[in-house]
Amino acid sequence: MDRLMAMNTFIRVIETGSFSAAARHLRVGQPAVSKAIAQLEERLGVRLLSRTTRGLSPTDAGVSFYEGAKRAVDEADEAENTARGTAAALTGLLRIGTSVTFGRLHVVPRLKAFLDAHPRLDVEVAMDDRNVDLVEEGVDVMLRLGESFAPAHIGRKIATCRRLVVAAPSYLAREGEPIAPDELSRHEAILFVRAGTSNRWTFRRGAEEVSLAGQGRLRVTSAEGIREAVLAGIGFTVGSEWMFDAELRSGAVRPILVDWALPPVELWALFPAGRKASVRARTFVEFLASSL
């Protein structure tokens, strides 16, 4: 038990970046955290942390130990929860990664119900549009929309939604509404720019297929910026129904070319490869899948 507690302390130091933040997470004093790390390094005979004026960072040995300790603590937590025989007894910290827009619109608003169902569980949501290393960032489950993922991850598809062409009523009133995909070339596309993202779209209607590249003067590197540009009436965009769910229902944006279909958007839950997904992560994914 002492070894697991020491591992858990080290994990919290790595994931929070400091002794003081780890102490707050663990609800102990900072001296207790410092002592636990010193004793752990003494027992292992290696330095696990490099201490500089800019903060703490793991040594090579520390990175290796973190990965093994994370697996051990997750497996111990899972064994306890299995023995209790109820998911309501989930404990510890669940770290969820998600893009900023999807997290703001569809993850955070659902968290109250999840937290109420698991009162002994802490949740941390890392909202970032970058493709991050799950192990390096200490993320238990990463939510990603319609993207390929590296072999360092294992994944499960959670849900699927439509991809739509959308624009604000003010833009359509000013520029007119296209009635065929090839007419989009005469309109202002708001383009999402990021490595691995294509702005080439393939429309299908029955046996017909039209493929074209988006053209526009405005390129944006975040979905939040895309949303604001569309709502401001700058142009149209192609995005998931999830991205404009509330605005589609309120009429703040309108779908166009609705008789043409685009490839759907898939929501994936990604887990670090090399270890079994924790019961906390699996429980959250099941919750999200049912609520979506």
Residues 37, 48 contacting (CB under 8 angstroms): yes
Which fold does the domain 92-147+272-290 belong to in CATH?
A: D-Maltodextrin-Binding Protein; domain 2 (3.40.190)
Q: What is the pLDDT of residue 230?
A: 97
Q: What is the pLDDT of residue 86?
A: 52
Residues 255, 172 contacting (CB under 8 angstroms): no
**Whole-prediction pTM value?**
0.70
Q: What is the pLDDT of residue 132?
A: 63
What is Dmax (Cα atoms) for the chain? 72
Q: What is the pLDDT of residue 1?
A: 55
Return the beta strands (E) in 35-120 as ranges: 49-52, 55-58, 92-98
| CA–CA dist 262, 202 (Å, integer) | 6
- Which of 3.20.20.10, 3.30.420.40, 3.60.20.10, 3.40.190.10 would CATH assign to domain 163-263? 3.40.190.10
Residue 3: what residue type? R
Q: What is the pLDDT of residue 12?
A: 84
Which fold does the domain 3-84 belong to in CATH?
A: Arc Repressor Mutant, subunit A (1.10.10)
Q: What is the pLDDT of residue 188?
A: 94
Q: Residue-wise pLDDT tens for the chain (292 aa)?
A: 588 888 889 888 887 888 888 888 788 888 888 898 999 998 899 999 987 766 788 888 888 888 888 878 877 777 776 666 654 468 888 889 999 999 999 999 999 999 999 998 889 998 887 766 565 567 889 998 875 554 445 778 898 999 999 999 999 999 999 999 999 999 999 998 876 677 889 999 999 999 999 888 999 998 999 999 999 999 999 999 999 999 999 999 999 999 999 999 899 998 876 666 788 888 999 999 998 8
The number of C-alpha atoms within 13 Å of 151 and in the hemisphere containing its C-beta is: 0
Residue ranges of the domains in the chain? 3-84, 92-147+272-290, 163-263
Return the beta strands (E) in 171-253 as ranges: 190-192, 200-205, 208-213, 218-220, 237-240
Residues 49, 56 contacting (CB under 8 angstroms): yes
Same fold? 3-84, 163-263: no
Query: CA of 274: how far to CAs of 68, 134, 152, 260, 291, in Å?
Result: 10, 12, 8, 42, 28
Q: What is the pLDDT of residue 136?
A: 59
- Say which residue the tokens 């007419």 belong to: 183
